[in-house]
Amino acid sequence: MRCLIAVLALCALIATPVRAEGVLVFAAASLKTALDAIAPGFEQETGHKVTVSYAASSVLARQIQVGAPADLFISANQDWMDVLQSEGLIVTASRVDLMSNGLVLIGAPDAESAEVEVGFDLITRLDGGYLAMALVDAVPAGIYGKAALQGLGLWNDVQGQIAQTDNVRAALALVATGAAPLGIVYRSDAIAEDRVGVVGTIPPELYPTIVYPAAVTTAAGPDARAFLTYLQGDAAKSEFLRQGFSLPEG
């Protein structure tokens, strides 16, 4: 009997996942530069390790849906957070809008600047090349970018010349390496990469307001709320602003 109890106890230990100490954050790819700068301050202040997994918000949300052990999710749009909330996978009371962003058209550092408005001749500027964008039907940066192109009256003309990538940082890399002459990325991405220049700012009225909601997951460890609070503090806000983000209205 004692042997059976011991075996059952061992099986229970094996079946129970052991959560690593610290905080595992699933964050939109566009947050990499900012969070990489912010996390060390929290670690030094609390002694708790922060590990961040960066990818498209759509990819991260789907990973959480299938049981990935994220403590904190930061999305680049409200829609993917809404999906997790509707499925009971985040703590709704913890949900907060952390920051906002904007879209820019980027090119080489020496690219001629232009007024991006209705009538802008994007096809001529591409000169047979491709426009780098995140996936236009799944990734927030691509969804916002598609809406902007539609608002500019350019979507029908340019949709056949779009190089779609898994996330916005991959689109940024295509322009940074010269693989694409132009791209649509977040303002913060352009600031983070010295090998690109801003051709023009895309008018914000042409696409939905870009907001980054954050929330603790229902599977979160004890340090997740502390890090979420830290991200709303003055030191983190200053870094977000320095990196080209803005504070959400209200």
Does any domain span residue 247? no
For 194-218, b where at least 16 C-beta lie within 10 A, e where not — what string? eebbbbbebbeebbeebbbbbbbbe
For residue 112, what is the enclosing H or E element? none
CATH number of domain containing 62: 3.40.190.10
Euclidean distance between CA atoms 204 and 58, whole angstroms: 22
Does any domain span residue 3? no
Question: What number of other Cβ atoms are within 10 A of residue 100's Cβ?
Answer: 17
pLDDT exceeds cutoff 80 at 21: no
Q: Residues 56, 83: one domain?
A: yes
Does any domain span residue 1? no
Does any domain span residue 122? yes
Q: Residues 118, 191: one domain?
A: yes
Mean pLDDT on 161-188: 98
> pLDDT band at residue 189, thresholds of 50, 70 and 90?
very high
What backbone phi and psi angles, to 5 degrees, belong to 182?
A: -140, 160
Number of domains in the chain: 2
Does any domain span residue 155? yes
Q: Residues 133, 84: one domain?
A: no
Residue with tokens 């000169």: 127
Q: Residues 154, 34: one domain?
A: no
The whole domain housing 123 covers 103-201
Residue with tokens 């689109």: 171
* HSE, side-chain direction, 13 A CA sphere, residue 76: 33
Q: Residues 29, 79: one domain?
A: yes
* HSE, side-chain direction, 13 A CA sphere, residue 41: 16
Its pTM stands at 0.87
SS3 assignment, position 80:
helix
Q: Residues 93, 47: one domain?
A: yes
pLDDT exceeds cutoff 80 at 14: no
Does any domain span residue 63? yes
Q: Residues 31, 79: one domain?
A: yes
Tally of helices (H runs) and strands (E runs) in the chain = 11, 10
Euclidean distance between CA atoms 214 and 224, whole angstroms: 11
> pLDDT band at residue 16, thresholds of 50, 70 and 90?
very low
Does any domain span residue 9? no
Q: Residues 232, 215: one domain?
A: yes
Mean pLDDT on 110-134: 95
Q: Residues 37, 110: one domain?
A: no
Interval 51-108: pLDDT, tens: 999 999 999 999 999 999 999 999 999 999 999 999 999 999 999 999 999 999 999 9
pLDDT exceeds cutoff 70 at 8: no
Does any domain span residue 4? no
